[in-house]
Amino acid sequence: MSNAFCREHSLGAVLNFKKIALGALAVLIVAGGAAWFSLDKETRGFLATFPTNRDLLFWSESQRDAAFRALDRLPFLAKARVVPASAKPSPLPPGPPLKLALDVDAYMAGQRSAALIVLQDGKLRLERYGLDFDANGRWTSFSVAKSITSILVGAAIRDGYIRSMDDKVTDYLPQMKGSAYDDVSIGQLLTMTSGVRWNEDYADPNSDVARFNNHQPEEGVGTLVSYMRRLPREAPAGTRWNYSTGETNLVGVVLGAATKKPLAEYLSEKIWVPAGMEQQATWILSRSGREISGCCIQAATRDFARFGQFVLDGTRVNGQSVVPDGWLEQATTERTGIGRPGRGYGYLWWTYADGSFAARGIFGQGIFIDPKRKLVIASNADWAGGARDPAANAAREAFYQAVRKAIDDEAAAKSPLQ
């Protein structure tokens, strides 16, 4: 299995989960059955599975199935900040059912899919749910949050909080001065081409993601900044792509320093409210109380689809894009190669040579956008093999192609030349 494949589906962020306090369960037992049944079914489901290992990569399927829909309701596991929704939800008008040359039920079973939504030309063409999940629930995004963070960076440039993609990281984070990030630009953070060493191998106990978990920061310095400013340079900035969730999390710290706002508030202001999201979302916080910008926005799958439609429509609010002119095209087309033919990386977006692009998270979360066909596909899942499930990834790519073919066949059937 290639390193590029592992990196593409690596965990969205290091969730520094606290050990689940047995006292939390004891309180429920002492309080009696009423306390237990006052919890929503997702929280009860998670507590019933009760993982004994705080590393979610080693949780069982049943533990993940329960946790992915309840992380933001388990304050003893992870704290979260609310992203307020819109008072005027954007409609998702129904379109004609999509006629696919494959068995959707079989596909969803193979993906261990919790939700699958297809929008085409702004209309709802397909909506299915599995794993006892439904339209009212929130599923955690993992690395899909990276692409949402990307749009927030564009918004911050248009709003004047960040001057340009060429600004240096140290312009906003003075504590990074004197480190390997002296020469790194905001754009290089978003394309993961800083050249700073970072090992995101979750199977390696000496990797940066593993060591970061136990890092003790200097007094007065946030854990992330404290760790990242110690890393050495391996290549000149801008010359090498290397997947780094640590740097994506650093993007969030830059955004916070520039906007002087919590990311959840800025997300609601620039995207969640103007795009007409129907439900509030939540964003998991780090130990320092900041949103983990590389990971873990919990939202309804319909709202993930609405986000895809918002991007497809040019991130426009009342006819005006929330990002600078031309910026979105740069963000969603290849800025650097990743060592795979026809594939690349933009500003925290995965790109295809045909002009489509995608947000992706470990375990099968995804938003696929094809501008040519006015297509958005939002999916949530719990892949059995996680990052190491090439079969599930290949099946999802085949599903994307099947949807595109169905749309092309419809267009051909309507053509006056037929």
- Judged against a pLDDT cut of 70, whether residue 242 lies above it is answered with yes
- pLDDT band with cut points at 50, 70 and 90 for residue 181: very high
- pLDDT band with cut points at 50, 70 and 90 for residue 19: very low
Q: Mean pLDDT across the chain, nearest whole number? A: 87
pLDDT > 70 in the chain, percent: 83
Write down the pLDDT at residue 385: 81
Task: Print the domain residue range for 304.
Answer: 3-414
**How many domains in the chain?**
1
Residue with tokens 């040019």: 314
**CATH number for the domain harbouring residue 101:** 3.40.710.10
- The residue with greater pLDDT, 17 or 286, is 286
- The residue with greater pLDDT, 416 or 395, is 395
Write down the pLDDT at residue 317: 92
**Per residue in 74-120, pLDDT tens?**
766 678 999 999 999 999 999 999 999 999 999 999 999 999 999 99
**Per residue in 39-69, pLDDT tens?**
466 655 555 555 555 567 678 888 889 889 9
pLDDT > 90 in the chain, percent: 71
- Judged against a pLDDT cut of 50, whether residue 25 lies above it is answered with no
Instruction: Round to whole Å and give the CA distance between 316 and 166.
Output: 24
